[in-house]
Amino acid sequence: MSRKYCTRSLRSFSLRLPSSLLTSAIDAMEVDAALIKELVKAVSRAGGHSFVNLRASSISRQLLLAGTEEQFRLGAEMDKERMEKMQACIIIEGGLNINEMSDIPDEQMKLATSFSKEVSIVRLKKKWVYLRYPTPSMAQLANKSTEAFEQFYFDVCTMDYAKMAKAMLPLKELMERTDRVKITGPGTELTFSIKGIPAILCPGQYNIPDGEVFTAPVRDSVNGVITFNTPSPYQGFTFEKVRLEFVDGKIVHATANDTERLNNILDTDEGARYIGEFALGVHPVIREPMQDILFDEKIDGSFHFTPGQCYDEASNGNKSNIHWDMVMIQRPEYGGGEIWFDDHLIRRDGRFLLPELAPLNPENLKEQEEHEA
């Protein structure tokens, strides 16, 4: 990609490097070397030391195909030991082919993820930031020319997240006062409780792009059915028309364009059939799915519902080796839908209805951004 990508992407990171940083892991997948070199310089200027790990998805695929239990265990132990010595972690992921892992046997993938989970837990306790690096393959998935995608990418990533955080605060407070949630839409009639579980703002402190408020349902409270209307890539395969039925929190029936493969993932462990996250997406620039979850889960007028592991910050006690964000868009062109909190309609067809939440509607977030500019 162009050097313009590198220098503008670096801006997002340099603001987040702690002044007292001593050790920083830089983990990158298929990223322009110019950006990595600039990051190493930035870490050095902050008084720190960089430890760089460069990967390629095709090599990762081969390691997964050839891996044994002992190899995965030893690799995870080494990665965990490395991460424990880091004070920060900068993660940048590009990608030439989102389907690179599509032919990894399910059992191999389950085996690898059962060991890599411990590394992720350690990483999340550090100072960290994660950026999706733009590539022509992402432009293709977004149905845009490379030039148009470049503009879209920077419009998304350079959002005034401080303004977004301020607009999110009333939603966080409302979610933390809420007990019962009801969601309706095409093929969807879902109820659950979020009582007593914190709601967390995501305004660009860790992920770039960002733009969601998340919590988790009380583990055994989910009942009903949900039919997702966006493609859902996971472990190298893109699932479509995913439909999940719940009884007392558990997914008891699941179908998709590959029902067998879907259920194999949901059978990874007991927690994979329970939900670990519920979040509302609010980024005003991200409007259409592009099979990249860091973007798709932030889509304006969307929410995501996540089988698997919960986050410690908003824990419902669910544990799993998977965490699979599945996205539903509720704007009218996607079939509409409603979200109710304690019998109060808070969002219809992707638009917030309560006055205190109106600043999160896209025209208001964009007005704030344009005013600041």
Indicate where the chain has its CATH 3.40.1830.10 domain(s).
3-157
Give the phi and the psi of residue 74 in degrees, each rounded to 5: -65, -40
Query: What CA–CA distance (Å, rounded) separates 132 from 153?
Result: 10
Spatial CA neighbour of 351 closest among 323, 330, 326, 366: 330
Query: What CA–CA distance (Å, rounded) separates 157 from 337?
Result: 28
Cis, bond preceding 209 (omega within 30 deg of 0): yes
User: Tokens in use for 150?
Assistant: 């470049």
Query: What CA–CA distance (Å, rounded) separates 88 from 206?
Result: 11
% of the chain surpassing 90 pLDDT: 79
pLDDT band of residue 367 (cuts 50, 70, 90) is low
pLDDT in tens, 16-64: 545 555 899 999 999 989 999 999 999 999 889 999 999 999 999 999 9
Query: What CA–CA distance (Å, rounded) separates 161 from 153?
Result: 15
- pTM, rounded to two decimals: 0.87
Quick check: 338 and 345 in contact, CB under 8 A? yes
CA dihedral 214, 218, 221, 222 (to 10 degrees): 30
pLDDT in tens, 165-174: 999 999 999 9
pLDDT in tens, 243-299: 999 999 999 999 999 999 999 999 999 999 999 999 999 999 999 999 999 999 999
CA 140 to chain centre: 20
CA 174 to chain centre: 22
The CATH superfamily of 3-157 is Thermophilic metalloprotease (M29) (3.40.1830.10)
